[in-house]
Amino acid sequence: MTPTPPALPGRMFFGDRRLSRRLERMFDSMAQRPDGTLPLKLHRHKDLIGGYRMLNNDKVTHRAIVQSHRESCLERLEGVVGKVLLLHDTTALDYSGLDIEELGQAGDGHGSGVYAHNSLAVNPSTRAVVGLFHQILHRRAKVPKGETKKQRAARKDRESRLWKEAVVNLPVFPAGIEVIDVSDRGSDISEYIAYEIKAGRRFIVRSQHNRVMVDEEGERELNKLHDHLRSLEPMGQYTLQRVPAEGGGWHEAAISVAWQRVRLLPPRQPRGEHDAEPMELWVLIARQIDTPAGQEPIEWILLSNRPIESLEQARETVEDYAAAG
């Protein structure tokens, strides 16, 4: 994949060049000081006051900023041929110290804030960030006491909908680009996986649920997925170069891998919008070999609809998931 060019100068975010330039300068300053409050990020008084005025302008909306940034990202990808990883994750934005009516529950339920569900495009060969393609700001609702599973599944503001909503609203990428949706255990939801398969999207999901496997006809139940994968003999091993280390940085890890094509049963009681038919997937287990003392060993169980039929394809799947770290 060729390197992505820099952002285009003079981009219009709100139909107002003055506001657009103010936003660019403000974001540049914030990127230089990612920690702390706005007065620390915008240390000059005139920049701080200008930033407040810009944010209070009715033209400056979250939707407008995300849409313009998405357009800029698509322009960066023009002429690019290859794979792009779209990393999906949710971040809690805790504003418990502020008295704002629009905030919802955050954390353990005693805090207040919003959740940002992000879709970040990354070049897997260089791990360079292309940009943020989508962001959903979600207000966590207070769940009524005695709410049934059926009522919870029908609720339009349930958080499990965010994974599907994020990919439903994505734009068409330029021709020549293969997009792979990559996400952690929170996305191991039948509704999301079933949609990805039906929509023809490629994905890698880290497994959270020890689902039931069934035979080719989908009639006879077999072993549980996690139990079965842990019983397999390694089918190959290699050194994973970039594993996130505690406290920051990276380290290497020797890992073994095993894989198989399976059919998994969704929950008998639907927990979202999905069929009862088994989901045909490729599954992989990656386990660390000879883990150093005091270090948590790697064990990743990954679900994908990309074929995994060789060590090379298994390694590519693990590397793509590792990029999300």
CA-closest candidate to residue 125, choices 81, 90, 166: 81
CA distance 288 to 300: 9
What integer pLDDT is reported at residue 100 of this predicted model?
Answer: 83
Using the structure block, give the residue that is written with the tokens 């139940």: 221
Q: Are strands 202-206 and 177-183 parallel, antiparallel or unpaired?
A: parallel
Q: What confidence score (pLDDT) does residue 5 get?
A: 41
pLDDT of residue 260: 96
Look at residue 4 in the predicted model and tell me its pLDDT.
42
The pLDDT, as a whole number, for residue 286 is: 96
Q: Which residue has the tokens 């900023």?
A: 65
Nearest one of 47, 54, 2, 1 to 28, comparing CA atoms: 47
What is the predicted pLDDT for the residue at 135? 95
Give CA–CA dist 267/193, Å, rounded. Answer: 12
Question: For every one of its 325 residues, what pLDDT tens digit does the chain have, with 9 covering 90 and above?
Answer: 444 444 444 466 777 888 888 888 888 888 888 887 889 899 889 999 999 999 899 999 999 889 888 988 898 888 888 999 999 999 988 888 888 888 888 877 778 889 999 999 998 888 889 999 999 999 887 776 776 666 666 666 788 889 999 999 888 898 899 999 999 999 999 999 999 999 999 999 999 999 999 988 766 788 899 999 999 999 999 988 877 666 666 778 899 999 999 999 887 766 677 777 899 999 999 999 987 777 788 899 999 999 999 999 999 999 999 887 6
Element (H, E) at 153: helix 149-154
Q: Could you tell me if 289 and 295 are in contact, meaning their C-beta atoms sit under 8 angstroms apart? A: no
Convert 136-165 to b/e letters by CB count within 10 Å (16 or more is b): bebebeeeeeeeeeeeebeeeebebbbbbe
- Here the tokens at position 178 are 């293969």
Residue-level pLDDT at 102: 83
Question: In one letter, which amino acid is 129?
Answer: V
Contacts of 240 by beta carbon, 8 Å cutoff, 6+ apart: 252, 253, 254, 255, 286, 298, 318, 319, 322
What is the Cα–Cα distance from 228 to 220, expressed in whole angstroms? 15
Q: Look at residue 248 in the predicted model and tell me its pLDDT.
A: 66
Nearest Cα to Cα of residue 185 among 315, 303, 322: 303
Q: How confident is the model over 53-86, as pLDDT tens digits?
A: 998 999 999 998 898 889 888 988 888 889 999 9
- Beta strands of the chain (E only): which ranges? 82-94, 104-106, 111-123, 128-138, 177-183, 202-206, 212-214, 221-224, 236-244, 250-264, 279-288, 299-304
Domains of the chain: 206-325 (3.90.350.10)
